[in-house]
Chains A and B, each alone.
Chain A
C-alpha cells in the first residue's frame, strides 16, 4: 500500500500541518519524543524546515528535532 499523503517529517513544508503516523529510528529517541508529546495521532505544525534541525509545534510546545531523527517520523499531511 502506497500512501502518498504519508511522508517523513523532514519533507513537510513550513506552515503545513500533519498528524503523526509513526515514529521509528531507535526506541530511545522515539520514547523521548513521545514523552515530549509527539505521539501517533498528534497534530504537528512545521515552524521551520531549512537546513539543520526541524522545528515543530505540537501540544502548544515548540520542539527542535535533528534532521536524522526527523527522517524517521512519518506524518500524514492535512490541508
Chain B
C-alpha cells in the first residue's frame, strides 16, 4: 500500500483531453471480467485509444461516440472490485468521479456474478446518482436459470437499468438512450443511494458531525466519506490527522468503540451490511430455476485445475504460445529445424516471410533507394551517412520491436478473455509459491523469454507492489529472444560438438532462472520489505469464446501506446551511438578510429578478468546495449567479415574465454528498451539503476568466476 504515500497529496491531474469537442463526459465502470473492454470497443470503435492514468502506470482507455446528435467522450475506469482505496486503480476511479464530475457513469454488471456486481454498483450509487446500469451476459445467466426482473430492480435503486450483450451488440440502443436521459438530467437519482447499515448508523452520523465541524472533504458526499473513514481509508484519515488532530482523535475513539462493542473491524461490518442489502435485493428481484450443471466446464476445470495435468497442460499452452510468437516474429525455431534437416531453401523462405524479415527488408530497400538517389544527384557527406546508417536503422530497430510486442499482447489478451489465464495462474501457484511468488508471475516470466519489455509491462497483473517491483527489477536476468540469437551464433561459432553446444545453451538458461529465483527471495525482502509470501486470490471466470475483434483492437492499441512512448528514446540513442561510431578525432566514417572505439579501447583492460584483450568486444557490448542483437552486428562490422559466425570465430577466443564472454553478454545489462520500460513502470530512477547494477555485477562476477575456476583447474 505504499503508493498512497506518494499520491495522497498530489491531485490526480486531468487526463489528456481529446482535441475534439464533446457534449458529455461519461465514465465506464465495472469489476474485472464483466466485459468492459468489449463494451468500450463496441461503443467507441476506432476512436478508442489506450493511455495511462497520470502519475502511475494504470491503463486508461478513452474514446468518442455520437448518439442522437450528442457527442460523448468516454473514459474507461480500471476494472476494480470496490471503490475503497486499497489499490491505486480504485483510488483513481473514485477521484475521477469526484473531480471530473462526469455527466453520467455507465456501470456494467456481470449477470453471471450478479451479487458481487450489485455490491460494486451500490458503492458507486453511494457516491453519485448519475448512473445508468447495463447488465451484461444476461443471455448466459438466463440459460443457467437466473431471471432478473429489471423493472423491479430499477424501482429499488432509482436508476435506469438495461440488459445488454456487449459481445452480440444487443440492447445498446436502449442503453445509449438512457445514457442521454441521465446525462441531460431526466433520469437518475437526485441524491446518493443510502444503504441501511443498521447498528452502526449512529456511528456514521457521529463521523459526519465531526467532519462537518472541520469543513473537511466538502467535494465528496459527507456520508460517503464517513463510511470510507470507518472502513479505514488511509487517504482520508491521513488528511484529518494532518489538519485536525482533535478530530482525528475523536474518529479514533469512534472506531475503537465499534471494535469493542462488536468485536469486529468496522470495515467488516460495513461490507457485511452492504452484502446483506444485496442479498435482500437479489431475493426480491430475481428468480432462479435449477438447471443441470454444465458438464463441459466441469470437465475442463477438472483437467486444468488438477495438480498433475494442470501444470503440464498450462506449460504446453504457454510454450506453444511463445514458440508461435517466435516463429511469426523471426522464423525461429522453425527455420532452425528445417536447416538442420537440410532444407536450406525452406528455412530461408520462412525467415523472409517472418515479420522481422519483412521489416528489415523494407528498411534495407529504403536505404538502398536513398543511396541510389544520392549517387544520381551526386550527394555525399556525413549527413547522407546519418540518414542511411543512423536514422533508417534507428527507425527500423524501433519497428522490429512492434511485431513481438503485438503478438505477445495478443496472446495474453486471448488467454485473459477466454478465462484460461486464471486457471494457468492456479496451476503454477503450487510451484511458484515454494519460491515466494504467486502463480500470476508465470505470465510475465513467460513473456520474458520472448522479450523483457512486454514482460515488465505484464507485471501489472501482480497483486502487491513488493512482488511487482521485485519481479520488474530482476526481469532482465531472463534470457530473451534477442539474446537467444546471440547465444546460438556464439555457440555455433565457438564450440564444436552437439553435446557441448547443448550443454552450453542449457547451462545459460538454468543459470538465468536460478539467479532470478534466488535473487527474488533476497530482493523482495531486503529491498522492498515483503514480510510474508504473497497469497493468490483470483476469480475463476466462466470460459468464453474470445472476441477476436476486441482482442485485436486492445492488443494493437497497447502496442502502439508503448511504441510511441519508448520509440522516441530508442531512436534518439540509436542516433547518438551512430554518431559515436562515425566520428573520431582523426577521421570520419571509420569505426576503428571513432570515438566509440576510443572508449572501447580505454575500457578493454576490464575484460582481462576473462582473459580478453580485443577492443571489439567492449565496443560490441556498448552498442549491444541499444538492442542486444546489435552486439553481433557490431562484431561483423568491426571485423570486416560478412557472415556473423566467421566474424565471431575471427575473435579467436579459447573455449573458456568464449564461455565466460557468453555469460557476460547474457547478463551484463538490460537493453535500452527494457531500461526505459523499467523506468516507466517503476517511476523510480533508483530501482532502474538497481536493475542495471544487479545485471552488471552478476555479468562480471559470473564470467570472471567461471574464467578463474577454469584457469585453476587447467582449462585454457
Q: How far is the CB of A28 from chain B (nearest CB, A)?
A: 7
Interchain CB contact under 8 A, B429 and A36: no
List the B side residues contacting A40 at CB < 8 Å. 268, 272
A67 CA to B534 CA, complexed, in Å: 11
Interchain CB contact under 8 A, B113 and A52: no
Interface size on A, residues (CB 8 A): 34
Looking at B86, B113, B271, the one whose CB has the most chain A CB atoms below 10 A away is B271
A50 CA to B24 CA, complexed, in Å: 52
List the A side residues contacting B540 at CB < 8 Å. 55, 62-64
CB < 8 Å: which of A48, A50, A51, A66 contacts B537? A66
A27 CA to B537 CA, complexed, in Å: 14
Interchain CB contact under 8 A, A61 and B305: no
Is A13 engaged at the interface, CB distance under 8 Å to the other chain? no
- Asked if A63 meets B539 with Cβ closer than 8 Å, knowing A37-B116, A39-B271, the reply is yes
Is B438 engaged at the interface, CB distance under 8 Å to the other chain? yes
Is B95 engaged at the interface, CB distance under 8 Å to the other chain? no
Q: How far is the CB of A44 from chain B (nearest CB, A)?
A: 13
Is A65 engaged at the interface, CB distance under 8 Å to the other chain? yes
> Which of chain A's residues has its CB closest to B428's CB?
A52
List the B side residues contacting A52 at CB < 8 Å. 307, 426, 429-430, 433
A9 CA to B535 CA, complexed, in Å: 15
CB < 8 Å: which of A27, A31, A62, A67 contacts B539? A62
Is B500 engaged at the interface, CB distance under 8 Å to the other chain? no
A29 CA to B537 CA, complexed, in Å: 8
Interchain CB contact under 8 A, B430 and A32: no
A30 CA to B86 CA, complexed, in Å: 12
Q: How far is the CB of B261 from chain A (nearest CB, A)?
A: 17
> Which of chain A's residues has its CB closest to B273's CB?
A39
A67 CA to B268 CA, complexed, in Å: 22
* Interface positions of B from 177 to 221, Cβ below 8 Å from A: none
Q: How far is the CB of A39 from chain B (nearest CB, A)?
A: 5
Q: Mark A55-79, 1 if CB is under 8 A from B, else 0.
A: 1000111111111110000000000
Interchain CB contact under 8 A, A31 and B267: yes
List the A side residues contacting B438 at CB < 8 Å. 66
> Which of chain A's residues has its CB closest to B267's CB?
A31
> Which of chain B's residues has its CB closest to A72's CB?
B535
List the A side residues contacting B532 at CB < 8 Å. 68
List the B side residues contacting A69 at CB < 8 Å. 535, 537
A16 CA to B433 CA, complexed, in Å: 26
Interchain CB contact under 8 A, A28 and B116: no
Interchain CB contact under 8 A, A36 and B81: yes
Interchain CB contact under 8 A, B113 and A53: no
A28 CA to B265 CA, complexed, in Å: 12
List the B side residues contacting A51 at CB < 8 Å. 307, 430
A52 CA to B119 CA, complexed, in Å: 29
Interchain CB contact under 8 A, B539 and A35: no
Interchain CB contact under 8 A, A53 and B439: yes
Interchain CB contact under 8 A, A39 and B272: yes
CB < 8 Å: which of B112, B114, B535 contacts A29? B535
Interface size on B, residues (CB 8 A): 40
* Interface positions of B from 277 to 310, Cβ below 8 Å from A: 301, 305-307
> Which of chain A's residues has its CB closest to B271's CB?
A34
Q: How far is the CB of A54 from chain B (nearest CB, A)?
A: 10
A31 CA to B494 CA, complexed, in Å: 57
Looking at B119, B425, B433, B540, the one whose CB has the most chain A CB atoms below 10 A away is B540
Interchain CB contact under 8 A, B81 and A50: no
Interchain CB contact under 8 A, A27 and B113: no
Interchain CB contact under 8 A, A35 and B81: yes
Interchain CB contact under 8 A, A47 and B301: yes
Q: Mark B121-157, 1 if CB is under 8 A from A, else 0.
A: 0000000000000000000000000100000000000
List the B side residues contacting A7 at CB < 8 Å. none
Q: How far is the CB of B147 from chain A (nearest CB, A)?
A: 14
* Interface positions of A from 3 to 50, Cβ below 8 Å from B: 23, 27-37, 39-42, 47-48, 50
Is B693 engaged at the interface, CB distance under 8 Å to the other chain? no
List the B side residues contacting A42 at CB < 8 Å. 275
A30 CA to B113 CA, complexed, in Å: 20
List the A side residues contacting B271 at CB < 8 Å. 31, 34-35, 39
Interchain CB contact under 8 A, A65 and B305: no
List the B side residues contacting A32 at CB < 8 Å. 81, 86, 537
Interchain CB contact under 8 A, A36 and B84: no
> Which of chain A's residues has its CB closest to B282's CB?
A59
List the A side residues contacting B533 at CB < 8 Å. 68
> Which of chain B's residues has its CB closest to A66's CB?
B535
Interchain CB contact under 8 A, B307 and A64: no
Looking at B232, B439, B536, the one whose CB has the most chain A CB atoms below 10 A away is B536
> Which of chain B's residues has its CB closest to A51's CB?
B307
Interchain CB contact under 8 A, A66 and B84: no
List the B side residues contacting A63 at CB < 8 Å. 537-540
CB < 8 Å: which of B116, B119, B536 contacts A64? B536
A51 CA to B430 CA, complexed, in Å: 7
Interchain CB contact under 8 A, A66 and B119: no
A27 CA to B540 CA, complexed, in Å: 23
A32 CA to B267 CA, complexed, in Å: 11
A9 CA to B131 CA, complexed, in Å: 38
Interchain CB contact under 8 A, A35 and B426: no
A62 CA to B537 CA, complexed, in Å: 11
> Which of chain A's residues has its CB closest to B305's CB?
A48
List the B side residues contacting A31 at CB < 8 Å. 84, 86, 267-268, 271
> Which of chain A's residues has its CB closest to B80's CB?
A35
Interchain CB contact under 8 A, B539 and A55: no
Interchain CB contact under 8 A, B536 and A59: no
A52 CA to B536 CA, complexed, in Å: 10
Interchain CB contact under 8 A, A36 and B539: yes
- Asked if A35 meets B119 with Cβ closer than 8 Å, knowing A30-B268, A60-B112, A60-B113, the reply is yes
Interchain CB contact under 8 A, A27 and B535: no
- Asked if A27 meets B81 with Cβ closer than 8 Å, knowing A51-B430, A64-B536, the reply is no
A34 CA to B113 CA, complexed, in Å: 14
- Asked if A37 meets B119 with Cβ closer than 8 Å, knowing A31-B84, A53-B439, A64-B422, the reply is yes
CB < 8 Å: which of B115, B119, B535 contacts A60? B115
- Top 6 A-B residue pairs of the complex, sorted by shortest distance between their CB atoms: A52-B430, A66-B535, A62-B540, A66-B536, A59-B115, A69-B535
Q: A35-B119, A39-B272, A47-B301 provided; 20 other pairs, C-beta below 8 A?
A: A28-B1, A30-B268, A32-B537, A34-B272, A34-B275, A36-B116, A36-B537, A39-B271, A52-B430, A53-B439, A55-B305, A59-B113, A60-B112, A60-B146, A63-B537, A64-B425, A65-B535, A65-B536, A66-B429, A67-B433
User: Which positions in A face B, CB cutoff 8 Å?
Assistant: 23, 27-37, 39-42, 47-48, 50-53, 55, 59-69
Q: List 21 A-B contacts (CB under 8 A).
A: A27-B232, A27-B265, A28-B86, A33-B537, A37-B119, A40-B272, A50-B307, A52-B429, A52-B430, A53-B429, A55-B305, A59-B113, A60-B112, A61-B113, A61-B116, A63-B539, A63-B540, A65-B536, A65-B537, A68-B532, A68-B535
